[in-house]
A and B are shown apart, each in its own frame.
Chain A
Amino acid sequence: MNGLIYQVQDLTKTYNGKPILRVDRIDVRWGEIFALVGPSGAGKSTLLRLLNFLELPTGGRIHFHDVEFGADRPMALKLRRRVTMVSQRPVLLNRSVWDNVAYGLRLRGQRDAASQIDAALAQVGLTALARQRARTLSGGEAQRVALARAMVLEPDVLLLDEPTANLDPYNVGLIEETVRQLNRERGTTLVLVTHNVFQARRLAHRVALMLEGRVVEVADVQTFFDAPRDPRTAAFVRGEMVY
């Protein structure tokens, strides 16, 4: 083990002949919170889907747990299940909150995990709503269910795609605290996609800026915000438009 959970090399993704992503190299370390920032359309979510092994890249490779994933090498289910994603807009099953959190465990054949499910619901403050139908929840509550259903699986990596976009400050605070706790107490590696530089600064250990499908700069959070090498990073953290 070399301390890296992901090693991304020469990764490309093309949709209908249009190049969307071209990442020369990104490494993600075990147990860190790694933020991907950048404007809309920079390829952040595409990279996240590839890190989740949900689609195959056009070229290049990702090493995960030292196993290679590439255009002609899909990831084995057992390893794919070590990674889970929470999306910006959670879509919950038309069942109870409790059943939604139990879903991923049932997929894995675990049917006697009531205490884990209760603990995950307690962690996101939704114990009282466990029996409520998930479709009746507010946006913030739904996102907390989505976080609980991912956390309960105890993944090695949790991918977060704009998890707090459009949420009120209370829910943002609660989700950020849960994420921090998860990283601190369980050592879960987190890859966070956000266009909110303040959130990246609050949560991440290291940050990468993406523009037009390419990685512009990767640095520890202090360097990224206080002494960036690339002028485009400096402009982005100042809140200016960058292209």
Chain B
Amino acid sequence: MEIVTLSLRVSGTALLFSTVIGIPLGVGLGLSRFLGRRLVIALLYTGMGFPPVVVGLFVYLMLSRSGPLGGLHSPLIPALFTPAAMVVAQCIIAFPLVAGFTMAAVMGVDPQLRQQVLSLGATRRQAALTVLMEARVGVVVSIIAGFGSIISEVGAVMMVGGNIEHRTRVLTTAIVLETRKGTFDLAIALSVVLLALSFLTNVLMLRLQGRTFDE
């Protein structure tokens, strides 16, 4: 139970941060035109395909005591082998997915809609929110994709969390450990729990999203 709770806490927190960063970024990239936009999009697309172990290595090097951030010894910077470090790694994995899919969803909304709501007296912020609401199916998909990428991720959390019992052991790292130990029954049980969690989260997302999928 402790492992399940920690998995949900780490991935849920990472997803929250990724959503807070990714959705405004995706909306901004989808609606605005500026010099260097293509480069930012190319970087974002690269981020969407980041191998988790590479992210894990990057965060490990950054947060280690001799790394550029770890060396600062600031209370704001999480230490390695803590749940906070795992949240940082998972954020880096999930936010490009949330931002990229949100951008695609926003760009899929008829550009005339924004013009027309502006002409009805919307401020730029109100117009952006209206476009976001119209793209809500795609935005929910972006959050689901972000969650899917981190709840099932093992490489980064193993590297920066260390799979320490009662501290940083989550479902995926526990499955790897139990498989290596040969306790397949426990590994299978944990896998079923992981699949059920993923399924329930997606069902919840779809319910939150409302009726739009049925239209």
Q: How large is the interface on B (under 10, 10 to 19, 20 to 34, 35 or more residues)?
A: 10 to 19
Does B179 have its Cβ within 8 Å of any Cβ on chain A? no
Candidates A84, A89, A94; contact of B120 at CB < 8 Å:
A84
Contacts of A90 in B (CB 8 A): 116
Q: How far is the CB of A190 from chain B (nearest CB, A)?
A: 15
Given contacts A87-B115, A94-B215, 7 further A-B contacts (CB under 8 A): A85-B119, A87-B119, A103-B117, A104-B120, A107-B121, A133-B215, A150-B120
Report the Cα distance A89→B110, complex, angstroms.
Answer: 11
Q: Are the CB atoms of A87 and B116 closer together than 8 Å?
A: yes
Q: How far is the CB of A130 from chain B (nearest CB, A)?
A: 18
Q: How far is the CB of A65 from chain B (nearest CB, A)?
A: 15
Q: Are the CB atoms of B212 and A94 closer together than 8 Å?
A: yes
List B residues at the A interface (Cβ < 8 Å): 110, 112-113, 115-123, 126, 130, 133-134, 212, 215
Candidates A54, A108, A146, A153; contact of B118 at CB < 8 Å:
A54
Contacts of A84 in B (CB 8 A): 119-121
Report the Cα distance A213→B105, complex, angstroms.
Answer: 36
Question: Which residues of A from 46 to 104 have beta carbons under 8 Å from B?
Answer: 52, 54, 77, 80-81, 83-85, 87, 89-91, 93-94, 103-104
Return the CB mask of A120-154 against B: 1 if under 8 Å, else 0.
00000000000001010000000000100110010
Contacts A89-B112, A94-B212, A133-B215 given; indicate if A54 touches B119 (C-beta within 8 A). Answer: yes
Q: Are the CB atoms of A80 and B121 closer together than 8 Å?
A: yes
Q: Which residue of A lies closest to B121 (CB)?
A: A81
Candidates B115, B120, B212; contact of A107 at CB < 8 Å:
B120
Q: Which residue of A lies closest to B118 (CB)?
A: A54
Q: Are the CB atoms of A153 and B120 closer together than 8 Å?
A: yes
Q: Are the CB atoms of A103 and B134 closer together than 8 Å?
A: no
Q: How far is the CB of A76 from chain B (nearest CB, A)?
A: 11
Q: Are the CB atoms of B134 and A93 closer together than 8 Å?
A: yes
Q: Which residue of A lies closest to B211 (CB)?
A: A133
